[in-house]
Chain A
């Protein structure tokens, strides 16, 4: 629990942070530190430089941008969970942030940090996938946008390059969303054994569009495209939901660990797809 030697910098502008990142051989962004610090203490990650972005002004805001809301890099899980804007326009993300870890971690860890970290069982990545969010990423070369669907590459691997900072997430408004989970300590407590975020557009009685994301089940949080297809164009009845649930792990290599076998996780993926859909289509 004693990290290897590293340099610590705490820049006050984004530009400064980005230039340190691009100049260093093996630098790491530090936001809430809730994942980075434990990994460093176990010496599983040994950055030469840690670039703390928490003192850069303006990154901790949640703003209403008309057709979408914007969540800055330093917005903590607890703020995401309690934000009226997020609750109204992106319920799944508020619920996922509220179901992340415990209150101490929620006060410290950031939504963007959780996304950037790309843990295979993290809560909030499922929500941004289902909500069709866009990641706004900066580097010295400029700013680019990455769709959530393209962001999660593999276990602990995102589309970010080492020189980039995820500066904010843009979450489109509209539709209805929900996040439901079974945590390791039961209920929604602890990392999910399996969890599902859904977003639907069902304003006129039929489901005109849907996205269904599953986390904790495969090697990364993923969009269950076949499940979404199974409900789109239907009236969202029990049969459609059951059909969607039955496709929850199509084309997915389901993982197993101390908390769930392949059979159990596959079963749970279906159960939580069903429960999440029931919640938004009720």
Chain B
């Protein structure tokens, strides 16, 4: 396994001792005295007008303090952290509900049990209306989710994805002509990329404490974006953001679900202000199906036009993307993110229409990969289908159409610039390691015995590490709600007076190991031991202005900011050490907990000595200020573009349709790697989630809009025992958009994996006449496909 020139060592995670002993502090571990608890009254209907809310019985119950409805909170306005396209979510349903489980009233009581009892006593009268759940029906617009508003909020096109901002030449020259040529083939598939419940192990949780004496509020929330939450709360309550302290303590998984500012975050602040006591709400697992965002939910047709020798002359994707009833933070941006990578790794003419359509279901938003797994799925499934159609190996078809390394930076047909890439090298690395030819022989031999083995290949490019702050101009800015700019990274490195180091960063991690990775960056730069470096994050007042953790962005952006801050601290420390050692600062080297003069290791000072001098300015050379810290805000010139190649071997039980995932290999390229173990860990989790989409998971709604899969009994998550040991490797193609050469790896595993599995299953069954099976490939579907193929 290759490592990098910077760091690159496997270092055990600093955060794990606390976490595995159960000593990590999550929102539910933080207690305030005199807390009250919230329960929500939720709509049983997917579409209804609210004719009355009667809370009198609830208010009579001992221990109930208040029941609030839209009337009480209307003055706060709408949460500003929602992209202003479509109908935004009100804090509480205002006159009408648009999905099952929408919060209609908030009960505040002595404890959650009483609150829940009282919620059962709030009588809401509804007048149910027609519901639209089916995506195609919603797209047809025969009935509107929001009266008088078309269900199609907007359509993203490849060459004009943000009207008036980006207008590119038609990226699809010649596709129609190519279709009519008689030496071409046209393959087309309609495919569903199903709705998913992101399901972090820690559900969302909030605790607010409004202090009228200080005129400030503290909010603990299980969030990926504490600074954005602080900004939005400030705007809603009309107080400056420096009076809002939002803390995201340990966060038990996010996957995009905690990348929103939610009504409940504002509502507990409101209730705390009104009642003068701390107020808590913890989402139950079942509630998460209503009160948190969901993922995916596309139905689309992918079409490839190409020659019989593998040259793709056109790729078209026309998809309807489910927004749910309301749009929130990145809801309409998710298909756009998909569009950014829709042409994949290929130098091909393209044409897209991604329709953002509302339905009477909870909101969708980013879920690990956010648009990119969908895009990769459609493209890679149809490439596979095309390869089969023309009788060419799917690996070879990809190679014919790849961008070549000397073409980078590549300007893509959708107006993006891809930084660096060497796709064929990466694919070959995978094929060599797997022993592709032998594997195919093994599959064919098994098939001759009547066993159904299948090989699936997928190769992807994704975009992450957002990103240039200029993207904020496109409407996905949090500047609107109190933050200086979007998409920056920030890092503060401070050497304490005792020579230990504190690093504060603007990220909002939920298990990614930032405390370790960032400590490595700083340890490498300063020569301070890992155990003497403390990394802190997630406090909107104490951390630097940050953007949070999502879109595999933290290392490329906040990591680089920290790297730069480290360099500046080192430069200043070299000046101080030079002064103390009577040497030129250029001759100072840092190592093993201190500094020495190059060539004379015995002429040395410890970090404690340097720091002591730094904090006693009279000991410093003329013109040098006291203190030993640096704060850097970094905005990269571009996002980053990781890529990779994945392969799976499956065996299908021909009688039952049961799919056994036998082996899984991945060769990913995320540029330089700081901690290979953490990178592998991200891939493990990501691949597990992609495999789970392919085989197990689906959020299913009935025609009335009831989520049928609210419990984990009905929504099967992958368990370790359902998966083989993944075999991982990497190639290293550093990016040139940041000094670390790092690209980001949080979502790559998910982006590369679902189609790998489906390609493998279809490969196993193709000789039986099976062309495609929609996910999840539960045994029944696979069995049905085999049956249908036999007919």
Residue contact B721 to A193, C-beta cutoff 8 Å: no
Known: A184-B778, A189-B722, A264-B780. 7 other contacts (CB 8 A): A1-B286, A2-B113, A2-B116, A182-B658, A185-B718, A191-B713, A259-B779
List chain B residues, Cβ under 8 A from A258: 700, 708-709, 714
Residues of A within 8 Å of B719, CB to CB, are 102, 185, 189
Closest CB in chain A relative to B364 CB, distance in Å = 20
Return 27 A-B CB contacts under 8 Å, by A number. A1-B284, A1-B285, A1-B286, A1-B287, A2-B39, A2-B112, A2-B113, A3-B113, A42-B711, A182-B656, A182-B658, A182-B779, A184-B716, A184-B778, A185-B696, A185-B718, A185-B719, A186-B695, A186-B779, A187-B658, A191-B713, A258-B700, A258-B709, A260-B780, A264-B784, A268-B656, A271-B656
Bound-state Cα–Cα, A185 to B696, Å? 6
A42 to B116, CA, bound (A): 11
A191 to B696, CA, bound (A): 13
Residues of A within 8 A of B39 (CB): 2
Q: From B287, B659, B709, B713, give the contact of A186 (CB < 8 A).
A: B659
**Which one of B716, B718, B779 has the greatest number of beta carbons of chain A within 10 Å?**
B779
Whether A261 is near chain B, meaning CB under 8 Å from some CB there, is yes
Interface status of A45 (Cβ within 8 A of chain B): no
Residue in A42, A184, A189, A264 whose CB lies within 8 Å of B286? A42
CA–CA, A193 and B782, complex, Å: 14
Interface residues of A in 235-262 (CB under 8 A from B): 258-261
Partner of A5 from B112, B117, B711, B721 at Cβ < 8 Å: B117
Query: Nearest-CB distance from A41 to chain B (Å)?
Result: 8
In the assembled complex, A190 has its CB within 8 A of some CB on chain B: yes
Residues of A within 8 A of B (CB): 1-5, 38, 42, 102, 182, 184-187, 189-191, 193, 258-261, 264, 267-268, 271
A122–chain B nearest beta-carbon distance, Å:
12
Contact B783 A190 (CB under 8 A): no
Minimal Cβ-Cβ distance residue in B for A1: B284
A229 and B287 CA atoms in complex are apart in Å by: 49
Q: Does B655 contact A (CB under 8 A)?
A: yes
* Cβ distance B697 to chain A, nearest Cβ, rounded Å: 10
| Chain B residue contacts of A189, Cβ below 8 A | 719, 721-722
The docked-state distance in angstroms from the alpha carbon of A260 to that of B656 is 11
B736 at interface by CB-CB < 8 Å:
no
Residues of A within 8 A of B718 (CB): 185
- Closest A residue to B655 by beta carbon equals A271
Partner of B284, one of A2, A185, A191, A271: A2
Shortest Cβ gap from B448 to chain A (Å): 23
Q: Which 5 A-B pairs rank lowest in CB-CB distance, beginning with the nearest?
A: A1-B284, A2-B116, A264-B780, A185-B716, A186-B658
User: Cα distance A238–B284 when bound, in Å?
Assistant: 51
Chain B residues near A261 (CB-CB < 8 A): 780
Question: In the bound complex, what is the Cα–Cα distance between A193 and B656 (angstroms)?
Answer: 11
Q: Please indicate the chain B residues that have their CB under 8 angstroms from the CB of A264 in the complex.
A: 780, 783-784
Q: Which residue of B lies closest to A256 (CB)?
A: B780
How far does the alpha carbon of A4 sit from the alpha carbon of B285 in the complex, in Å?
17
Q: How far does the alpha carbon of A259 sit from the alpha carbon of B709 in the complex, in Å? A: 12
For residue B700, which residue of chain A has the nearest CB? A258
Q: Is B695 in contact with A259, judged by CB distance below 8 angstroms?
A: no
Which of A4, A182, A191 has the largest count of B CB atoms less than 10 A from its CB?
A182
| A102 nearest CB neighbor, chain B only | B719
Query: Which residues on A sit within 8 Å (CB–CB) of B658?
Result: 182, 186-187
Q: Is B660 an interface residue, CB under 8 A from the partner?
A: yes
Q: Quick one: CB contact mask for B773-790 with A, threshold 8 Å, 1 for yes? A: 000001110011000000
Given A1-B286, A2-B116, A42-B286 in contact, is the A186-B721 Cβ separation under 8 Å? no
- B651 CB to nearest chain A CB (Å): 11
Nearest-Cβ distance from residue B201 to partner chain A, whole angstroms: 14
Chain A residues lying within 8 Å of B700, measured Cβ to Cβ, are: 258
Verify A190–B716 contact, CB threshold 8 A: yes
Name the A residues within 8 Å of B779 (CB-CB).
182, 186, 193, 259
Least distance between B70 CB and chain A CB atoms (Å): 24
Query: Closest CB of chain B to A196's CB: distance in Å?
Result: 12
Name the B residues within 8 Å of A190 (CB-CB). Answer: 716
Bound-complex Cα distance A110 to B402 (A): 57
Q: B residues 668-727 with Cβ under 8 Å of A?
A: 695-696, 700, 708-709, 711, 713-714, 716, 718-719, 721-722
Q: Do A259 and B778 touch (CB < 8 A)?
A: yes
Q: Report B272-297 residues with CB < 8 Å from chain A CB.
A: 284-287
Residues of B within 8 A of A186 (CB): 658-660, 695, 722, 779
Distance A4 CA – B119 CA, assembled complex (angstroms): 12
Residue of A nearest to B780 (CB): A264
> Which of chain B's residues have a CB closer than 8 A to the CB of A5?
113, 117
Contacts of B695 in A (CB 8 A): 185-186
The smallest C-beta distance from B755 to any residue of chain A, in angstroms, reads 19
In the complex, what's the smallest C-beta–C-beta distance from A257 to chain B, in angstroms? 9
Contact for B117 among A4, A38, A185, A267, CB less than 8 A: A4
Closest to B37 in A: A2
Interface residues of B in 48-107 (CB under 8 A from A): none
Interchain nearest-CB distance for A15 vs B (Å): 32
Complex CA distance for A187 and B652, rounded to whole angstroms:
11
**In the bound complex, CA of A98 to CA of B658 (Å):** 20
CB contacts (< 8 Å) of A182 on chain B: these are 656, 658, 779
Chain A CB count within 10 A is highest, among B287, B655, B659, B660, for B655
Q: How far is the CB of B292 from chain A (nearest CB, A)?
A: 14
Closest to B658 in A: A186
CB distance from A207 to the nearest CB of B (A): 23
Contacts of A193 in B (CB 8 A): 779-780
**Chain A residues with Cβ under 8 A from B716's Cβ?**
184-185, 190
Chain B residues contacting A38 (CB-CB under 8 Å) are: 711, 713
Compute how far the CA of A38 lies from the CA of B117 in the bound complex, rounded to whole angstroms: 17
CB distance from B102 to the nearest CB of A (A): 19
| Complex contacts, A260 vs chain B, CB 8 Å | 780
B722 CB → nearest A CB, Å: 5
Tell me how far the C-beta of A130 lies from the nearest C-beta in chain B, rounded to whole angstroms: 20
Closest CB-CB distance, A116 to chain B, in whole Å?
19
Q: How far is the CB of B108 from chain A (nearest CB, A)?
A: 15
List B contacts of A4 (CB < 8 A): 117
**Knowing A191-B713, A271-B655 touch, does A185 contact B722 (C-beta < 8 A)?**
yes
Task: Report the minimal beta-carbon distance from A246 to chain B, rounded to whole angstroms.
Answer: 14
Q: Which residue of B lies closest to A42 (CB)?
A: B286
Q: How far is the CA of A189 from the CA of B779 in the complex (A)?
A: 12
Q: Is the CB of B660 within 8 A of A187?
A: yes
Q: Considering the chains assembled together, what is the distance between the CA atoms of A4 and B713 in angstroms?
A: 21
A262 to chain B, nearest CB (A): 11
B347-377 residues at the A interface, CB under 8 angstroms: none
Q: For A191, what are the chain B residues with a Cβ–Cβ distance below 8 Å?
A: 713
- CB of B461 to closest CB in A, whole Å: 31
The answer to whether A259 and B780 touch (CB under 8 A), given A1-B284, A2-B116, A185-B696, is: yes
Instruction: Chain B residues near A184: list those with CB within 8 A.
Output: 716, 778
Q: Can you name the residue of chain A whose Cβ is closest to the Cβ of B117?
A: A4
Residue of A nearest to B286 (CB): A1
Cα–Cα distance between A38 and B719 once the two chains are bound (Å): 20
Which residue of B has the minimal Cβ distance to A270?
A: B655
Determine the distance from Cα of A97 to Cα of B287 in the docked complex, in whole angstroms: 31
* Interchain nearest-CB distance for B764 vs A (Å): 14
In angstroms, Cα B653 to Cα A268, docked, is 12
Residues of A within 8 A of B113 (CB): 2-3, 5
Task: Say how far B562's CB is from chain A's closest CB, in angstroms.
Answer: 39
The answer to whether A267 touches B722 (Cβ under 8 A) is no
User: What CA separation (Å) do A151 and B708 show in the bound complex?
Assistant: 30
Distance (whole angstroms) from the CB of A77 to the closest CB of chain B = 15
In the complex, what residues of A have CB within 8 A of residue B696's CB?
A: 185
Complex Cα–Cα for A258 and B713 (A): 12
> For residue A271, which residues in chain B have a CB less than 8 angstroms away from its CB?
655-656
In chain B, positions 645-663 with a C-beta closer than 8 Å to chain A are 655-656, 658-660
Shortest C-beta distance, A271 to chain B (Å), equals 5
Chain A residue numbers with a CB within 8 Å of B783 are: 264, 267
Contacts of A259 in B (CB 8 A): 778-780
